[in-house]
Amino acid sequence: MKRYPLLVQLISYVFVIVIALITTLGLLYYQTSSRNIRQLIERDTRQSIRQSSQFIDAYIKPLKETTSVLAKNTEIQAFASQIHQENDKQVLQLMKMVLATNSDLQAAVLVTKDGRTVSTNSQLTMKTSSDMMAEPWYKAAIDCQAMPVLTPARQLSLSSKKEWVVSVTQEVVDAAGHNLGVLRLDIAYPTIKASLDQLQLGRQGFAFIVNDKHEFVYHPKKSVYSSSKEMAAMKPYLAIQNGYTKDKTSFVYQKLIPNSQWTLVGVASLDQLHRVQRQILWSFLGTGLLACLICGFATVLALRRWIRPIQQLQQVILAIQKGDRQLRAQETGSPELTDLAHQFNALLDQIDSLMVAVADKEKAIGQYRLQALASQINPHFLYNTLDTIIWMAEFNDSKRVVEVTKSLAKYFRLALNQGNEYIRLADELDHVSQYLFIQKQRYGDKLSYDVQGLDVYADFVIPKLILQPLVENAIYHGIKEVDRKGMIKITVSDTAQHLMLTVWDNGKGIEDSSLTNSQSLLARGGVGLKNVDQRLKLHYGEGYHMTIHSQSDHFTEIQLSLPKMHELMADDTQENE
């Protein structure tokens, strides 16, 4: 894996942080702006639709009143009641005068109950019969009980062109309330269209009017009136009273026009929102790029100044690795780097002190080695063994002489170990067994012993001559001091972390008063036991410990705990020879 310089890593981190910060702020601003713009669009759309609804109500109200006035005119009622059938010209003239007062009025039609018509539009074609009460459109006009009725859009032929109009119909009744006919005024779109076209509903927004049966009264796109496909496209808007379409591209608001069965539907497009969102996106991209460049430039300048002391410290370390141990780092730069250089210099001073201590320790180790070599051959043991051999020879016990002599030879061969300081555990146990065998010849039935090893640890390498001083301690300070038969047991056991060597005897034990501390326990064994403890501490360090258990006049148990992490196999020691 490629390793990048610290400067590159820090600049990368700064870039990541800046980009993350700008992205987070951009998203927050984006969401907030979008929400505010949506709320603004919703508010403006509702306000515009309400105002347009009120305008349309104000627009159609006088038209409905005009229709009501005409329906109550005496000449029209006289004509419709068949009292004066010949005055149709006066009725026509009256309707033309009314049309002249309002440019949006395109035509006026009077249809009597018996099917007679008077119309300002000569091209009018209308289904009539002798009994108009049986016609559906006629019945629909009189269902409102002499109140004006607004009808949906329809196409009207005027001279050479056709216009889409809406109509206001009014039942004509006599004084008794009996139906005489229906009066209809056809109204063009210009005023309604001008009012709805000025609504601010976005670039693709629009408004339209439907009645209570969802029939179109007005739509800015006239092809909707005759196209079933385009009518079907408007149905999703009719299903939304106040909210957004499924694709979230338009906001729909519906408002019932007062005093009518019409509903004004406003569809506001969100192109303004999308335009602002794009502007925000590009603005933050540009801002982010500029911020990254500025931060990157400033970071490079700052980090080079901060990293220079680190580079100087690195050069000092390389020089020390090459042997210039007297060199020290300059304590300059930021407080953190100054502390680092100070601690590094203190560490170098501590290392120098430790090296001096290690040299002193090596000298001490050399001295302990000399003591160990000196203790390998105990003159008293050798003299006593030779006396035993001479005594056996005088009694012509040649067999025992041979056995003791062989055992003594093997004892010295294992003790010398060709000058090596380490020995296999199996050989160390064999060495102490030879020692016990020779002592058994001297003490006879007073001394018995049992040596048990573990085959799995036979090749475990340990410092040599660590068990004999413990056994010698058990004989001279334990078993020799009691009148009963003595027993020495040597066992090997293990735990997860340590190998345990145990020497147990049933000798005199240690008085309770002397069991106050480990130094008192070690004092019982004399120089040999202390030397073993010191040698093992020097070799294993904190991982080693000696444990002594004793009960006065019953037993003494000495246990050596050797860490397995220092295990050396026999082949390794032979390679080092």
CATH for 94? 3.30.450.20
Q: Is residue 137 a part of any domain in this protein?
A: yes
Residues 359 and 477 in one domain: no
Rounded to the nearest 5 degrees, what angle is found at the Cα of 161, between the Cα atoms of 159 and 166?
Answer: 95
Residues 510 and 367 in one domain: no
| Cα 91 → chain centroid | 85
- Cβ–Cβ contacts within 10 Å for residue 192, how many? 22
Strands of 222-352 (E only): list them.
242-244, 250-256, 263-269
Q: pLDDT band for position 461 (50/70/90)? A: very high
CA 64 vs CA 57, 67, 186: distances in Å: 10, 5, 11
pTM: 0.46
Q: Is residue 130 a part of any domain in this protein?
A: yes
Residues 118 and 155 in one domain: yes
Q: Looking at 210-214, 386-390, 572-576, which range is the least confident one?
A: 572-576
Residues 501 and 372 in one domain: no
**How many whole angstroms separate alpha carbon 445 and alpha carbon 128?**
151
Residues 344 and 470 in one domain: no
Q: Looking at 75-89, 445-459, 520-534, which range is the least confident one?
A: 520-534
CA 360 vs CA 363, 364, 371, 543: distances in Å: 5, 6, 17, 21
pLDDT in tens, 267-324: 888 776 677 777 777 887 787 788 778 877 877 777 777 777 777 777 888 888 887 7
What is the full DSSP assignment across 463-516? ESSSSHHHHHHHHHHTGGGSSSPEEEEEEEEE-SSEEEEEEEE-S----GGGTT
pLDDT of residue 574: 46
Residues 370 and 426 in one domain: no
pLDDT in tens, 73-131: 888 888 888 766 677 888 888 888 888 888 878 888 888 888 788 888 766 555 555 55
Residues 523 and 466 in one domain: yes
What is the full DSSP assignment across 14-65? HHHHHHHHHHHHHHHHHHHHHHHHHHHHHHHHHHHHHHHHHHHHHHHHHHHH
CA 303 vs CA 13, 85, 159, 291, 336: distances in Å: 12, 107, 87, 17, 14
Residues 523 and 401 in one domain: yes
Residues 388 and 516 in one domain: yes
Which residue matches tokens 């056809």? 186
Name the average pLDDT for the chain: 80
Pick 336 or 1 by higher pLDDT.
336
Last residue of a domain, one of 191, 224, 247: 191
428 pLDDT more than 90 = yes
Rounded to the nearest 5 degrees, what angle is found at the Cα of 363, between the Cα atoms of 361 and 369?
Answer: 105
Q: Is residue 269 a part of any domain in this protein?
A: no
| One-letter amino acid for residue 179 of the chain | N
Helices (H) and strands (E) in the chain, counts: 14, 18
Residues 443 and 547 in one domain: yes
Residues 350 and 395 in one domain: no
Q: Is residue 311 a part of any domain in this protein?
A: no
Structural domain span for residue 352: 332-376
pLDDT of residue 396: 86
Q: Is residue 10 a part of any domain in this protein?
A: no
Q: Are 470 and 532 in contact (CB under 8 A)?
A: yes
29 pLDDT more than 60 = yes
CA 551 vs CA 235, 468, 555: distances in Å: 105, 22, 6
Half-sphere exposure of 236 (CA within 13 A, CB side): 13
Number of independent structural domains in the chain: 3
Q: Is residue 408 a part of any domain in this protein?
A: yes
pLDDT of residue 573: 46
Strands 263-269 and 154-158: unpaired
**How many whole angstroms separate alpha carbon 328 and alpha carbon 337?**
14
Share of residues in the chain with pLDDT > 70 (%): 83
Residues 404 and 372 in one domain: no
Q: Is residue 202 a part of any domain in this protein?
A: no
